[in-house]
Chains A and B, each alone.
Chain A
């Protein structure tokens, strides 16, 4: 049985290779991986921002994904509490409020191409989940 994979644009690259081309910023440790039940999500704060972090086990391998926690349809920060799964092999989470689905890899809303949420870089180092926080200077 073919295991679902992330959308092609999200082909996983080794952290060491790509962390160099993320621009200015830093990896911020957030929590231990075992604080996230397999297949589920939690919310974390990155400054003012609420980030939804998901732990997905595909073929026995743990992967982490991170999205903006805010459901763009309601403006409420709940996406971390949605059910994770896949649609036609694309990993996604469904909003607990009105059930729209968002791709974990791209943040795209699978039910409404006009909507989407921001994606954060996430990785696991020595059992600790880290998020990439871009520096404000770069955005200016």
Chain B
């Protein structure tokens, strides 16, 4: 990881280095911090730190360096190549430490360090029979993350820790007690003060392995993950005589030099003042030093680091920073324990300088950026230091100092962010690019966003792309958060990344993102409140408060029998009927309580929800094509039906329309659609980014003469990329315009797969297509959802105010002047009920 931070800098324009990168693993640099995502099903490509590769560098993967010849200034690789160097940088990281006990290695035993390790664990865990158990040796950060990931796969987990508490390095006993309860509440069994003696194979036993512990019963296990610590990979340095640290690691000075003027060491393999750092923050700082030194800045030096740590386990917030164990002479500590909310929070301070020295946060780590940012600032702790732990607003007033560190992974201070904003960075993406803040663990993004908001506000600029007052993120950033943090609910999202309760802007946007990421039903109870009225009742709200119903008619092809059913339903409920522009039939005038019965009849006749109510794929309009037309060169109806079945119901930032024409005469008006297909003699031409409406726009020709599988693949990628990255209510045309590089860039991503995202986008689309269910059928099958389709909760009465007039043989809502009782707009019922004026209500 740290090698990546260095190479990125060395490749910066103008740096002028000839860089060769040798890596033992088969993957280019990846985000090891989020290794757990592999157990969540992420592909290695998703973890890549530089999806676009390293243009300008020679990258040799799966080729370890086996020896360094310092005199000749050359390295030898496992493939027998010898490469000379002017400068050599070692960033070899660590290896997992495996305790030297009998049976520690063998089948069923794993460590947790690389993508290959995580994949092996994943494969083994998924192959386990139900009820199988896993033992994780080590209750530190890695062990708990591995245990959490296994538990999420449905495996029973025992965590074995030698020390008297979990996370012994990071937190104290008080925090450990709260953490233990939280971990146990997630179904993991915790064994502290338990020393591993051996791992036995027990063929014929209840489980294939038995984990023996000193003085306790052995734990049966089908899988053992050893996360008992790490050891620096200093073997290359050792072999060529570089000095080592007292506890291992390649010894480096403040310049990160490894005892040889031409060799540097950075990251976890390096020992600075006998100290080895197991976190990415100090390693990145070392990379920065080396890059600066190589660029001629001889003042650049590493000054140590004590980056905060955070446990990345969904639902278990733990963090510690600075002197968490009160080791500073004369320090004092303030602790707030809240057993009701299961939180333990401690701040350590120096009473004389009133500096914050460190702290522990368990159960609620939201204060980490704020508190860690105060470390080392004189006078940061008020006289009653407990105020530091009070809810927001009660703490010391005023903005945090410029020196306060915001991104600890990349050592970015508040001041550096402010400077970048002053220099023109006006969104989070630009800040990330300009300062690297937030590009590693991502834990500081809420804080980065906060600084951005505050700074822009101070300059009188609104953070305009923010979704609304509740989220300072754009839709695209939220999409990213939801996917990367695997957030499945609005409540968690707004709690961790937003503020307040939400509104009519962010709620439906998030609902749509959740739907297009996880494919859960829009009316599952926790989601009901997010949906606007259309999505809540799966119908289109009309001006009198009634709804219209649009069954799906794929490709516009409909049988006489189906037409008759629609006619009968419309007659039975006296619904106004009209043909839509998308080649289907809209039935108007249904009340909420009539909707289920109407749909029961439609579904019985084979119809499905048309999703006319949602920001979703609407229709694939077709011309009759070669089925009948004497000009048609392809079966446009057949293709249109297949496309509509593939993408039906897909939620998107804006409604989406597709069309297929059977020849260049273009009778289906495909060029006015988001995705248009026009048949050619040799296949299909694909058009994207067209629309009708108030600002009509012709689609652009995207690719020509495609066969159907290729066409579908490109459309999959196009739609998924749009869904992931467009802004709220941004149509495809506008989205393409604002992409940096426009249509050419889009072609590179979708057709040439320049970001390496193709397979992932297709897989995501495949998953959504596979998860499709008719939303209306799901409602009819679920009594709880059905119960919500009532006009009033407390009576079967109907809305007795709906007034209709007949016009051209059909019913339509009366206009105000047509109401027989002269009801005028805006009359308040409350007053009619004897209430003199609106008054205070009582909440119990």
Q: Residues of A at under 8 Å CB distance from B?
A: 1-4, 6, 9-10, 12-15, 18-19, 22, 30-31, 35-40, 42-50, 53, 56, 58, 63-66, 68-70, 72-78, 81-89, 91-92, 94, 96-97, 99, 101, 105-107, 115-125, 132-140
Render B468-507 as a binary contact track against A, CB cut-off 8 A, 1 for contact. Answer: 0110000000000000000000000001000111111011
B785-839 interface with A by 8 A CB criterion: 787-788, 790-795, 797, 799, 801, 816, 823-839
Q: Could you tell me the dominant secondary structure of chain B's interface residues?
A: loop
Residue B309 CB within 8 A of the other chain: no
B830 with A119: CB separation less than 8 A: yes
Which listed residue (A68, A69, A123) contacts B844, Cβ 8 A? A123
A97 with B830: CB separation less than 8 A: no
Which listed residue (A44, A50, A139) contacts B835, Cβ 8 A? A139
B832 with A86: CB separation less than 8 A: no
List 11 additional contacts besides A118-B837, A139-B835; criterion CB under 8 Å.
A2-B392, A2-B393, A35-B793, A42-B793, A47-B833, A48-B829, A75-B824, A83-B504, A85-B507, A118-B838, A119-B838
Residue of B nearest to A130 (CB): B844
Which residues of chain B come closer than 8 Å to A12, judged between CB atoms? 842-844
Residue B713 CB within 8 A of the other chain: no
B545 with A117: CB separation less than 8 A: no
A104–B229 alpha-carbon span in the complex (Å):
54
Closest 8 A/B residue pairs (Cβ): A118-B830, A39-B529, A139-B834, A85-B503, A96-B533, A123-B844, A37-B528, A75-B825
Which listed residue (A45, A58, A106) contacts B797, Cβ 8 A? A45
Question: Nearest Cβ distance between residue B523 and chain A, in whole angstroms?
Answer: 9
A37 with B827: CB separation less than 8 A: no
9 contacts between A and B (CB under 8 A): A4-B501, A43-B792, A68-B830, A70-B827, A72-B826, A72-B828, A85-B502, A87-B469, A121-B840
Which listed residue (A3, A44, A74) contacts B794, Cβ 8 A? A44
Which listed residue (A31, A121, A135) contacts B841, Cβ 8 A? A121
Which residues of chain B come closer than 8 Å to A42, judged between CB atoms? 788, 790, 792-793
A84 with B844: CB separation less than 8 A: no
Which residues of chain B come closer than 8 Å to A81, judged between CB atoms? 533, 536-537, 541
**In the complex with contacts A30-B794, A58-B501, A86-B502, A40-B529 CB distance below 8 A:** yes
Which residues of chain A come closer than 8 Å to B529, judged between CB atoms? 37-40, 83-84
Question: Nearest Cβ distance between residue B509 and chain A, in whole angstroms?
Answer: 11
B638-673 interface with A by 8 A CB criterion: none
B792 with A75: CB separation less than 8 A: no
Q: Could you tell me the dominant secondary structure of chain A's interface residues?
A: mixed
A12–B816 alpha-carbon span in the complex (Å):
39
A85 with B500: CB separation less than 8 A: yes
Residue B254 CB within 8 A of the other chain: no
**In the complex with contacts A35-B793, A44-B794, A68-B830, A123-B843 CB distance below 8 A:** yes
Render B516-551 as a binary contact track against A, CB cut-off 8 A, 1 for contact. Answer: 000000000110111111001100010111000000
Question: Nearest Cβ distance between residue B783 and chain A, in whole angstroms?
Answer: 13
Residue B626 CB within 8 A of the other chain: no
Q: Residues of B at under 8 Å CB distance from A?
A: 366, 391-393, 469-470, 495, 499-504, 506-508, 525-526, 528-533, 536-537, 541, 543-545, 787-788, 790-795, 797, 799, 801, 816, 823-844
**In the complex with contacts A50-B829, A76-B545, A118-B830, A94-B503 CB distance below 8 A:** yes
Question: Nearest Cβ distance between residue B729 and chain A, in whole angstroms?
Answer: 13
A63–B830 alpha-carbon span in the complex (Å):
21
A49–B791 alpha-carbon span in the complex (Å):
13
A85–B656 alpha-carbon span in the complex (Å):
28
Question: Nearest Cβ distance between residue A33 and chain B, in whole angstroms?
Answer: 10
**In the complex with contacts A118-B831, A135-B834, A73-B826 CB distance below 8 A:** yes
Which residues of chain A come closer than 8 Å to B504, judged between CB atoms? 82-83, 85, 94, 99, 101
A83 with B503: CB separation less than 8 A: yes
A77–B737 alpha-carbon span in the complex (Å):
41
Residue of A nearest to B796 (CB): A45
A77 with B801: CB separation less than 8 A: yes
**In the complex with contacts A1-B366, A83-B504, A116-B838, A45-B794 CB distance below 8 A:** yes
Which listed residue (B541, B790, B801, B824) contacts A96, Cβ 8 A? B541
Residue of B nearest to A137 (CB): B834
A1–B790 alpha-carbon span in the complex (Å):
36
Residue of A nearest to B801 (CB): A77
A96–B827 alpha-carbon span in the complex (Å):
18
A91 with B501: CB separation less than 8 A: yes
Question: Nearest Cβ distance between residue B338 and chain A, in whole angstroms?
Answer: 13
Question: Nearest Cβ distance between residue A132 and chain B, in whole angstroms?
Answer: 8
